[in-house]
Amino acid sequence: MTDVECNNETVGASARTRRSVQLTVADVIDESPDARSLVFTIPANQRERFSYLPGQFLTLRVPSDLTGSVARCYSLASSPHVDQAPKVTVKRTVDGYGSNWLCDNVNAGDTIEVLPPSGLFTPASLDADFLLWAAGSGITPVMSILKSVLSAGSGRVVLCYANRDERSVIFAGELRELAARYAGRLTVLHWLESIQGLPTRAQLSGFTQTTFAGSTGFESFVCGPAPFMSVIKETLAEAGVPRERIHLEVFQSLSGDPFADGTTSVAADSDESDAAVLQVDLDGTSHRMTWPRQATLVDVLIRSGVDVPYSCKEGQCGSCAATVVRGQVDMATCDILEPEDIADGVILGCQARPVSDDIQIEF
């Protein structure tokens, strides 16, 4: 996720969550005329919490004179298999307060309040063959996946990267170096709007058939503006790529406050008389508890002291995605889930409330 507007709520000093950490900016790197990377130093006692998977993101708290602060989510462009320190890349957007503030004000030595890594846009295995699709700042999580596969995996990688023009290409030098170093495994294809126009399904259909003939066994990861991702998804589907091999990083604006103390949102007077019986399997451990009908899954797990994965609590980031193994739940919001995912039992824990009396959930 890049320059996603997570919220515009005031975050008071008394409401800081213990989940967040003040990280020092070790370096600031100019990646292109309108994009900069922030490299963070992770304290020794926080390294386990800030270990991450290729394609995940960090949530940064950005000061604001108007609201006290805003939160923004930025993908990690670094690879946990290659880079010694995590790096997020910020691209300026028109009227984007967070991106412009970070590009204009952050220097090496500054500190920023950050939530631990989150996100589901990450490969199950690095040994597959990959078609990676990116547009603009959508290259950031894709770059993390690309470097990880080449370093720690065994498969081939084809990257198709769309930009306005040559000056807009982020990581241009690094991509050239990687293409030369991994000439037998990495192919980088640039799509420039200034030359080829905006990608259309008709253009990409021929492009896909010519360039990626016989590639339906590849894993496709797609990140960029919604119209770009829609075109890529439709083109891949028409080419016969199975749905389970197409992975999208969904961009949403969030209205909640991920830096607020999560325990404050759990109702202390929840009605236990009509609660469901819940089993949650998380990190190899089974937790059993009651689940009041009006409480969300994330809230009831927080109240029970379970270290449940979550970030926005607004149903827009996917951090709390889980699978219903037994029983039935209802969700208020599920816009970022595909209908096929919901049919397969995938839910968002921050939106899920119990319907049946006996439920088993697996994270």
pLDDT in tens, 275-312: 999 999 998 899 999 999 999 999 999 989 898 888 77
Contacting residues for 285 by C-beta, under 8 A, at least 6 apart? none
Residue 361 has pLDDT above 70, yes or no: yes
Question: Higher pLDDT residue, 58 or 68?
Answer: 58
> Mean pLDDT for the chain?
87
Residue 204 has pLDDT above 60, yes or no: yes
Q: What does the pLDDT average to over 150-169?
A: 95
Length of the chain in terms of residues written: 363
Using CA atoms, how far residue 15 sits from 40, 65, 71, 313, in Å, is 24, 18, 14, 16
**CA 254 from chain center: how many Å?**
13
Question: CB of 250 within 8 A of CB of 166?
Answer: no
Q: What does the pLDDT average to over 153-168?
A: 95
| 60 class by beta-carbon count within 10 Å (0-12 exposed, 13-18 middle, 19+ buried) | buried
Residue 133 has pLDDT above 50, yes or no: yes
Q: In this predicted structure, what is the pLDDT of residue 210?
A: 64
Lowest mean pLDDT among 10-14, 154-158, 316-320, 357-361: 10-14
Q: What does the pLDDT average to over 10-23?
A: 60
When pLDDT is cut at 50, 70 and 90, the band that residue 67 belongs to is confident
Q: In this predicted structure, what is the pLDDT of residue 315?
A: 83
Question: Higher pLDDT residue, 141 or 274?
Answer: 141
Kindly report the pTM of this predicted structure. Answer: 0.82
Q: Which amino acid is at 35?
A: A
Residue 266 has pLDDT above 80, yes or no: no
